[in-house]
Each structure stands twice: as structure tokens, then as C-alpha cells.
Amino acid sequence: MEGEHHFLAVDLGATSGRTIVGTLRDGKIGLQELTRFKNEYVPVGKHYYWNFLGLYAEIVRGLQTAREQGYDIESIGIDTWGVDFVLVGRDGLMLRAPFSYRDPHTEGVMDKYFQHVPKERVYGLSGIQFMNFNSIFQLYAMRCNNDSALAAADKILFLPDALSYLLTGNMVTERTILSTSALMDAQTGQIAEELLSPLGIGKDQFAPIVEPGFEIGRLSPQLQKKTGLGAVPVIAVAGHDTASAVAAVPALDDDFAYLSSGTWSLMGIETPHPVITKDTFEMNFTNEGGVEGTTRFLKNICGMWLLECCRKEWADAPRDYGQLYKETQEEEPFRSFIFPDSPEFANPTSMVQAIKDYCRRTNQPVPETYGQQARCIFDSLAMRYRQVFEMLSTLASKPIRRLHIIGGGSQNGLLNQFTANATGVAVYSGPTEATAIGNVMIQAKAAGLVDSLKGMRQVIAQSVSPQEYLPEDAAAWQEGYAKYLKCID
């Protein structure tokens, strides 16, 4: 890997987005953030929409900034959250702003869909965890509501693919983002036509499926002129942000579990093949696509969404995270618990009130102060992590010896320590920018600078220094876990 190489990563989360330049030099990777911007859904009438064209405009601004700062960009890659999609008409134009996965139109539709294809069959084909916002259920809700945009749609593009289409004019369906939809046959990697039938759509309404590292095309002539970057390739990275993040786990062996921590927490292991059994069905685990044909066998857990919603309501809480964590640590432990994945926390009018109501309903002390509420959230997340970690341990083919926490939530040292205490294994936090790093390294692999996922991780391991957290207070946390299980039962 000679010289210096620059790649531009567009990393879009469900609350914010960034454009980042990743530089490879002397066998190491470094990042430089170019732009950062908010990403919030827009309520209009009864629905919640993403400001899709606003995101496109922010990407273009990031490309312009890269040029202004003198970077010689070798390629561009886009990753986003999963499941959401854009509908495109026969004229190639977007038919409407896409719905947010938090839109309420999917409430109650899963059971209606299962009248067409039984639940066990849906899981047997897709291997995907049942969540009401899976693309399959979004599309079915639209079909039931006689959605005019769906009726007119020629193509269905998942968000990273739709944004790449705006940059290049070429349409693809990247496999890792497709895998989040519950429309893909986990064994073949192709669209499961049996699952499409109740939706009233056909397989031809999806663009060709491609693997991470595929060159989608070059910046359109219009964008070449607007950004000054020239005919830069746009690469289909692991379009699902968690797939890019998992590719950035700085591990040189495979005896680890990962926790991608952000708005959502996603805990799992990397497997060579999907794991679809009666047990995984009953435990509601998911099989999503990874880099080099791997499977991300994991469970979605509500994550920092709980805290961030509360922070918007807390008038007297410190805005500094470090101070908030310090005060939270001083609160009484295990005073009250919530089940983080309870539907009432998905998108409440008031998260603070939802937490209070849950604790009142389950006959626990009601957390009245911001400190008590924060402690309730962190204690509950750590215990939920242990619960899922124990499930993983029973399903994995080999022992899991440590947990890597990656993503923005890995900066939460208090929750990292709580997680080590709860799970009883060593926890390693970082890299914080795992998604962007994975995005960049997939581009580097496409450029021939590394030859494999293992080679990618070797570069990453040489570039970052994860912080270690060792378990403490085992007896107290065991007692707390027993209390948590009673509260959520």
C-alpha cells in the first residue's frame, strides 16, 4: 500500500449524517470529517417522511467541501440505516419522499401479512427478525392503503442505492441493505418471489443485486461540473451502516461478539452462513448480509434512542455527556428497570412519561429525576445486552470470549463498564467511527489496496487502540439481573 489514498464516505444515520474523508497511508487509516448535518423525519399529516432530497443536497455539499480542501478523491461510498426505500417511476423520477420506518402505518400489519404467508415460512426464507417496520411490512401496509406511489412504481430502491442513483444515474440493489428488508432469501441471496406475492409487486421492480465493492458508476457529468471532482467512481459499499461497522471490528480472530451502538444497538456474531432454526425463530434473531458473503447473525435492541429522546425533554440535565454520566453513576443502582424493546418506547410522544408509566405499571419505583431516568436506561440496556449475549452464547458454534462495542455509543464509558459487569466478559470499545472506517476500507478493497476482509481488519487493528473494560461487582450485577428479569416478565 504505497503512497496516500483518499476515499469519501457518506455515513447517514437515522438522526444525523456526515461526509468523511478516509486516508490510507503507511498501512493505517485516518479520518477527517468534512461536514455534519441533522437528519430528522418530517411529520406531514398522518405520516413521517425523510427529507431525501435534503440528504442528497448535503452529500453534494460534502463533495464540494472535499474539492475545496484539496482532496484527490479516489471513490465515494454511501451507507445508511436499513429497511427504508424510495419509489421511482418509469421516467426515472422519485415519486414521493420516502416514509420513515417510525411511521405508524405499519402498526398491526404483520399479522395481516401472515394470513398470506405464515410467520414460520417468512422467517424460514428470510431469516430476519420480526419488526413491524421491516420493508416487507411497510410495502404491505402501502398495498393495503392503496398507496398511489406504490401503484405507479417502476423500481424500488433502498436508501443508499437511491442516493447512489442520484449521483450516477445507475440503479443497483446492494445485498447487505436488501437483506434488512425481509424480502431476500437468506440462503440464495436473491429476492424471494413467494414473499412478494401479497405485496402486488414483482421481482423486476428491484435493480440487479450486487455485492459490497461493486462499482455502480461514475459521478454524473452535472455533478462533475458542480463539485469539480471529475469522474469519480461511486462504489456500493456495505450499504447497511451496521454491515460497514461490523467490517471495522478490529479483531484478528473470530471468537468475539459485536455490539454496534448508536440510535439502535445491534448485538451479534459473524457467521459463514445463515443460522435459521426453530430456536432462532423463537428467539427472533436476524440474519443480515455482511462483507464477503458472511452473515451478521444478530438481534436489534433499542439503543441510544432512549437517552436522546429523554435529553430533548430534560430541562435541568447537563448538556455535557461526561457530566451526565458522572451524575448517573452516583444514582442508586437497579432501582427500576424497563424492557428497552417494549413497543411503547418505539416513538412515544414523551419518552420520559413512557418510562415512568412502564415503571408504575410494573410496580417499581418511578424514576422522577433525570439522573434516576438515565440510570434506569443504562441499567436496563446493560441487562438487555446480557440477556441477548446469553442467547447468542447458546446459539454460537464456538465460545464467545469478548465483546467489541463499536460506533458512536462506544464513547459511553459508563455503559461500557455496565455492559462488562452485566455480561461477565471483557469489553473493548472502539472504533467510534466504525461505520465510516468500514465504508472506506471496502472502497480500499475495491481499489485493490487490500485483498480481503481479514486484510481490512489488519489495517484497522493497526490504526486504533480499543479501550478495555473488565467485569466488576459480579455478585451485585447477578442480583440486579435477577431483578431485571422479574420486572420485564
Give the model confidence (pLDDT) of 37-93 as tens digits.
999 999 999 999 999 999 999 999 999 999 999 999 999 999 999 999 999 999 999
Mean pLDDT of 394-414: 95
Question: What pLDDT does residue 418 have?
Answer: 98
Which single residue is written with the C-alpha cell 399479522?
111
Q: Is the pLDDT of residue 403 over 90?
A: yes
Q: Is the pLDDT of residue 2 over 90?
A: no
Q: Is the pLDDT of residue 457 over 70?
A: yes
Q: How many separate helices (H) and strands (E) can be counted in the chain? A: 19, 19
β-pair partners for 466: none
Q: What is the pLDDT of residues 252-289, one digit of tens each?
A: 898 999 999 998 999 999 999 999 999 999 999 999 99
Spot the catalytic one: 147, 241, 341, 379. 241
**Where along the chain do its domains lie?**
4-239, 248-430+466-489
**Cα–Cα dist 270/287, whole Å:** 10
Grid cell of 454 as nine digits: 481479514
* CATH of segment(s) 4-239: 3.30.420.40
CATH architecture of 248-430+466-489: 2-Layer Sandwich (3.30)
Q: Is the pLDDT of residue 444 over 90?
A: yes
Q: Is the pLDDT of residue 489 over 80?
A: no
Q: What is the pLDDT of residues 336-383, one digit of tens each?
A: 999 999 999 998 999 999 999 999 999 999 999 999 999 999 999 999
More confidently predicted of 346 and 216: 216
Q: Is-catalytic flag, 204?
A: no
**Considering all CA atoms of the chain, what is the largest pairwise distance in Å, rounded to the nearest integer?**
64
Q: What is the pLDDT of residues 139-166, one digit of tens each?
A: 999 999 999 999 999 999 999 999 999 9
Question: What pLDDT does residue 1 have?
Answer: 61
Averaged pLDDT of the chain = 97
Mean pLDDT of 228-249: 97
Distances (CA, A) of 223 to 61, 91, 296: 11, 20, 35
Q: Is the pLDDT of residue 3 over 90?
A: no
Mean pLDDT of 461-469: 97
**Cα–Cα dist 422/216, whole Å:** 44
Percent of the chain scored above 70 by pLDDT? 100
Mean pLDDT of 433-462: 97
**Cα–Cα dist 432/406, whole Å:** 6
All residues at 6 or more sequence positions from 2 whose CB lies less than 8 Å from its CB, including other chains: none
Grid cell of 364 as nine digits: 417499581
Q: Is the pLDDT of residue 386 over 70?
A: yes
Distances (CA, A) of 374 to 223, 328, 337, 486: 45, 6, 11, 20
CB atoms within 10 A of CB 322: 11
Topology alike, domains 4-239 and 248-430+466-489: yes
Q: What are phi and psi of 42, to 5 degrees?
A: -115, 115
Buried b (16+ CB within 10 A) or exposed e, 354-368: bbbebbeeeebeebe
Which residue from 247, 345, 253, 277 is spatially nearest to 305, judged by alpha carbons? 345
